[in-house]
Every structure is written in structure tokens, then in C-alpha cells.
Amino acid sequence: MFTLLAPLLALVLFLLAPTTAAAQAGNAQAGKTLWEGPATQCRNCHGTNGEGAFGPDLAGRRLTVPQFRRAVRQPWGIMPAFVESQVSDREIADLVAYFDGLPAVAQPGPWRFTVPAGAPRGLEVALSTVGCAQCHGPTLNGPRQNMGAINADFEWVKRMVYDHAKIMPAHWKTLGEEPAVRVRMGTYSPARLPESLVQEVWTYARDLGYRPLIASQLSAGVAAASGVTYSLTVQNSGLPNRGLTAEDLTVNLVVPAGANVVSTTGSGYQGVRADAGLKANVAVWQLGKLAPKDRQTYSLTLSRAGTAADNVRGVVRWAKPVVKTGPSDEANIAPAPLTTATQ
């Protein structure tokens, strides 16, 4: 019987072989788009073009899809692991195709952030031992916001580090947020990232000061006879009765060069002044405090719309809680969409 089936089995395997190869063949352009886009942050460790930095080089390494997938799903060393919902097998194949088309490098590139002289132990660990600050930055602004949103303890931090792919979506759900991106941070292994090192980083973040989770949404301009109106919502997205309250806030929206303020809405308007940080004239509102789930709305009507080179954008600053990263804390207001509707 086996003798009769052998030719048929050989034919089936022959027909399947191209299909399997095709399934593993990635799209280099899709890989480039993924690598350079907001869906992943791998380039912060592996270099802008995969040339290597804190993490090893990938460009021109000629890794196979199974090898690359193994490194992503079950990595060696300190690198966190990424599940299918974060980076799919299809995307892994695309990344392999992209890196196969790049030249190999003789030397890796520089780290995104280096360890400053006299750095606290927690910052040294975050930058050079674990590498978490290569993505989050030396002041860990994002993590400190998420900690401040619920006034997190160390047990929560451990769960976030060791089971991130599950805990981060649960955190968003607790806060009632709809994330704009997938979960981008991987999950660390307790065997390779000891709890003592996590404690060092958490102590450093706590010493800098937790931050209230201040979010904003700036609309596209709406054109009418009176001018172009932009609407802004500022919200404290923290958890009621647990998250931090921001106090002594200023809301600042850039007035593009050549534009005049026609009118505004929202209490606490202070007029227009020069802002050194934004390097522009800004319309300013003052606000006493913003507790978790509180929100404020504002509008700014200008004589003309912003442009790609000089768009309406801004920053929210607050004096309390006091942090060690500067005289005030702040959250950026992303530029308004350039599409302008007609009223």
C-alpha cells in the first residue's frame, strides 16, 4: 500500500512546496512601512534602519523567517517577547524581506539615549541594563502618566512588565480609553529581568514624580464667514478617586503667523502672548484644576487657517503635582487635522 501511495504523497508535497514558500515570502515595502510607522517601536533599540544600537543589527543579516520569528516570540537576553496580536507572523515575514534588501553594517549605530554622568541607579538600569528608557525616554514620561492615572503601586508595575500584552489592554479598559495603536511594548521574562531591577526603575520613576494623565483632542478648522474655528477638549483621563489631579493649568494654542484671534470660548481666557517653548504666539487659558474624568472645552476662531508648515497646535502645562523634571509638567496638543470643513 505504501508503495502505491508514495508517488501520490510526493506529488502532494511538490505542489505544497511553492505554497509554503510563498506563505513565508514577505513584502519588503510592507515591512518598511511597519518598521517606520507608529505600530511598532523596535527601531528605538535596533536603529532607524535596522543598523543596530542598543539592540543588535538586523539589516542585511539574512535571517530566515523562522529564525526571526523565534527571536520575536521567544527572544534571548533582555529583549521582551511579542505575541501575534502585537506583531503577526505575516508582519514578521514582511520585516525579514525588508531587512534582506538592506546592506549589512560594519558597526552598529549610536544608542538613542546614553547614560549621563552621575545618573541615578534607576536611570542607569533603564537606559543600559534593561533598555526600557530607549523607548520611553530618560524621564519615563509615558509610564509615569499611566502610573499617575491610577496612583500605581509596585505590584501593578510588576504585572505591567511581566504580563504586558494582557495588562495594558486591561488598563485601557479600566480608564475607558480607546487606544489609537496596538500594544507596542513586549512582555519581559522574570527569569531574565529580575524583580530587583524592575524595583530600581520603579523607584526612579516614583522619585521623579507620577504624572496626571492629561489628554487633548484638537479638531480640524471649520470655516465660516467670521473665520476658521478650532475646537479643543482637554481631559484628565485618570481613574476617579485614585488618579492624580492636575492643578494650576494653562492651555496654550499656537496662533499661526499672520493670523489674528477673532474670538474664543471657554472660561479663563488670558489673551495672546509669546511662548518660548512653542516658539510662537499662543492663545492662553488658565484653569484651576482638572480632576480625573473632568474635561474642559475651548474654541479658537482665527482670521485664517493653519498650514502644514505653521499649524494650530499647543501644550497643556500644570504646576502641581510637582515633578523633578522641570518647573512645570506638560502634555502636548497634537496639530489640528489640515482638512478644513465649511459650516
**pLDDT per position as a tens digit, 295-333:** 999 999 999 999 999 999 999 999 999 999 988 899 999
pLDDT greater than 60 at residue 184: yes
Determine the length of the chain.
343
Give strand pairing partners of 234: 216, 296
Grid coordinates given for 64: 530566515
Q: Provide the whole-model pTM.
A: 0.87
Whether the pLDDT of residue 15 is over 90: the answer is: no
CB 340 within 8 A of CB 228: yes
Among 197, 179, 180, 178, smallest CA distance to 188 is for: 197
| Per-residue pLDDT reduced to its tens digit, 18-70 | 434 444 689 999 999 999 999 999 999 999 999 999 999 999 999 999 999 99
Take residue 294 and report the three cell numbers written for it: 473632568
pLDDT confidence tier of residue 181, bands split at 50, 70 and 90: confident
Could you tell me which residue, 216 or 342, shows the higher pLDDT?
216
Burial label, 305 (beta-carbon count in 10 A; 0-12, 13-18, 19+) = buried
Residue type, 266: G
What is the rounded average pLDDT of the residues 281-301? 99
